[in-house]
Structures are given as C-alpha cells and as structure tokens.
C-alpha cells in the first residue's frame, strides 16, 4: 500500500454541498474560500477547517485561526468565521477529514513469503502480506488486505474489502463479513473460558461453535472475541469495538452498537442494537441488555437491563481520606437499618 496522496483544496461551498451542511457567512464570497485540511480549533490556521462538537470548548472559537469552522446551530452565533452549520458537527468533520485523507488503494498480490494452502481461494484483487498464513479451504474476498504476519485458520470466510492489519489471528471456521477492519493483535475465535469443576480439578469443555461477524464491523487492537461453546458468538453489522475488549463465548452484540476500550463481557450475554458501552464496564454472563441502552464507564452490570436508558454503577472518585470515610459509613449501614427497624417495631407496639 502506497503513502497517502495530498488532496487539492476544496471550496467551502463544495464542502457544504457534499456534506449537506448549511454555509453561513457574512461575506458573499465566503463560499470560494479554499480548504485543504482539517485541524483542531487550537492548531488550525489559514486553509484549515476546524469543528466544535463539545460545548466545553466553545470559548476556543474566539481564538481559532481556522479559515472556517463546523458547528451546530446552537453554536453558530459564537463566531463570526465562515461556518458549516449542521446538526452533527462531528459526523460532518469525519466526512470532510475522509475527503482530505483518502485511504490509499492497496496493490494486489501475494508476497513471496506468504503461505497459502492449495485449497484456499484468494481473490486476484486481494493483498496478502509478508509471512501471512492462509489455511485450507479459506475464502478471501475481493480487494481484501491481509497484512504481515496474519494467520487465517482453516475453513474461514473473509468477505470483500476487509483490512486485517499486521498480526491478526482468525481461528478456524470463523466468518467475517464485508468491509471489516481488524487492528493489530485482534484474535477472533479463540476458545471460550469453558471449564467444568470435578473432584477439585478443572475439565476443559470443548468449544465447538464459531465466531460470525457481520458487515462494516471495526475491531480495535488486541481485542478478543471467543468462539461459541455450542452455538456461535455473533457480532452483528456495523458494530464498533475499541481496543482491549474481551467478548466471551456465545455472546451476541447487536447491530450499530459501540463499545469503548477495556470492557469485559462474560459468556452468553446478549447486547442489544444501538447500545453504547463506556470504557472498562464489566458485564456479567447470561444476561440481556435492551436495545438503545447506554452504560457509563467503569459500571458493573450484574443483571439484565430490560428498559433502555442510561445506567451507571460506579462510585465517583473522591479524595482518598473521604473515600475511606465513606466506606466506613457504608459498613455500618446494615446495623443502622436493623436499629431503625427495631425502633419502628417498638413504636408500633406502643401504639
């Protein structure tokens, strides 16, 4: 894959038309301003377009040197700069950033050091990198990139236009849909943590299922998705997984759900569609999370959530001395409850 090629400047009016944003400017000729890059409010200068999506940074609109900004209607009056007004500034920024930073087209071919089984079917438009290993009866789709050191086990299916960054491992019989992106260190289809305790020892339970991944899924670096014990672990379409996530066997993650880094999901849990799960949340096994649920960072979810909403299960941070005092008080709550109940019973008897 070659280096990214510079993109010539684009007039602000054209950016508005291509993104569906409204161009708002005091000067009639503002639409002719040429934009050639994106930048933060702090770093932008002439020729750059910046964006504001978080209100806490609104004060920086006054000092930015950007040629134009992307804002919501609520923030449009906070700057005299030419602006693209849109209900979704961050999404509009993402589209414009992609215009100025197109992904280079891969050069198809198989590296001389790659090992490909004779029964594998690799599209002629695919790229297979150095020391990649492709197992028996594997299917690699059109324009898919399997980069250096990747291992794709026997009987796997990898769809069209996928990117497997260096050192991705896909265990046998896994299925990956179209346009998947897997970052370095991803492991798909390792055995789930299935153990049966017997006479003081652990017996390994064979993990006989698969991992099935839908279309347009992105999986961050060093994230692991375990295969099912009997049925399949399923990641539905357009799921976005951050780095260092653990998804246990037989889980199902609903379409369009986004999960931040360091989340752990125990086996046989079903996460609904359009959910958002904050970093380091821990989710118990064998439960269900309703569609549209938002789980705050560092929350512990022990039981099913049947109604969508925002759920938080973590203490806010406190100075250490205050935290110790709070814990001390909490340890006395049971005794306090018992005293209150005894007092209520005594007063009831007096009546």
For the annotated catalytic residues, the residue numbers are 249
Do 161 and 144 meet the contact criterion of CB atoms below 8 Å apart? yes
Chain centroid, CA 122 distance in Å? 28
**The pairing of beta strand 300-301 with beta strand 288-289:** unpaired
- For residues 13 and 10, give the distance between their C-alpha atoms in angstroms, rounded to a whole number: 8
- Phi and psi for 295 in degrees, rounded to 5? -115, 125
Q: Is 97 helix (H, G, I), strand (E, B) or coil?
A: helix
Q: Outline where the chain has alpha helix (H).
A: 12-19, 89-100, 320-331, 333-350
69: left (phi over 0), alpha (psi -120 to 50) or beta: beta
Q: What is the DSSP letter of 346?
A: H
Neighbours of 93 (CB within 10 A): 21
**The pairing of beta strand 121-122 with beta strand 233-235:** unpaired
345: left (phi over 0), alpha (psi -120 to 50) or beta: alpha
Residue whose entry in the numeric block shows the structure tokens 């110790």: 324
Residue whose entry in the numeric block shows the structure tokens 């008897």: 349
Do 65 and 45 meet the contact criterion of CB atoms below 8 Å apart? yes
Residue among 36, 12, 35 at smallest CA distance from 24: 12
Q: What is the DSSP letter of 326?
A: H
Neighbours of 180 (CB within 10 A): 26
DSSP secondary structure string for all residues of 31-44: GG-EE-EE--TTT-
């Amino acid at each position: 894959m070659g280096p990214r090629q510079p993109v010539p400047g684009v007039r602000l009016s054209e950016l508005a038309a291509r993104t569906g944003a409204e161009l708002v400017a005091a000067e009639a000729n503002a639409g002719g301003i040429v934009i050639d890059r994106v930048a933060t409010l702090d770093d932008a200068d002439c020729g750059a377009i910046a964006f504001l999506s978080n209100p806490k940074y609104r004060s920086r609109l006054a000092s930015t040197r950007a040629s134009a900004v992307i804002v919501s209607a609520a923030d449009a009056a906070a700057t005299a700069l030419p602006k693209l007004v849109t209900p979704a500034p961050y999404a509009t920024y993402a589209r414009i950033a992609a215009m100025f930073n197109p992904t280079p087209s891969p050069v198809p071919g198989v590296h001389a050091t790659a090992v490909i089984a004779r029964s594998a079917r690799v599209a002629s438009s695919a790229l297979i990198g150095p020391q990649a290993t492709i197992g028996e009866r594997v299917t690699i789709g059109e324009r898919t990139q399997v980069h250096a050191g990747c291992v794709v086990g026997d009987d796997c299916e990898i769809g069209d236009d996928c990117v497997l960054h260096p050192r991705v491992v896909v265990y046998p019989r896994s299925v990956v849909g179209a346009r998947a992106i897997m970052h370095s260190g991803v492991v798909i289809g390792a055995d789930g943590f299935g153990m049966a305790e017997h006479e003081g020892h652990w017996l390994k339970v064979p993990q006989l299922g698969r991992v099935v991944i839908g279309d347009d899924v992105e999986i961050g670096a060093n994230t692991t998705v375990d295969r099912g014990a009997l049925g399949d672990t399923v990641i539905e379409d357009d799921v976005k997984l951050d780095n260092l996530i653990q998804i246990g066997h037989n889980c199902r993650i609903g379409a369009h759900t986004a999960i931040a880094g360091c989340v752990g999901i125990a086996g046989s849990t079903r996460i609904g569609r359009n959910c958002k799960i904050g970093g380091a949340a821990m989710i118990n096994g064998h439960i269900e999370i309703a569609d549209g649920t938002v789980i705050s960072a560092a929350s512990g979810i022990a039981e099913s959530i049947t109604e969508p909403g925002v759920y938080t299960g973590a203490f806010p941070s406190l100075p250490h001395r205050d935290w110790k005092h709070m814990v001390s008080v909490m340890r006395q709550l049971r005794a306090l409850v018992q005293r209150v109940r005894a007092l209520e019973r005594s007063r009831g008897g007096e009546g």
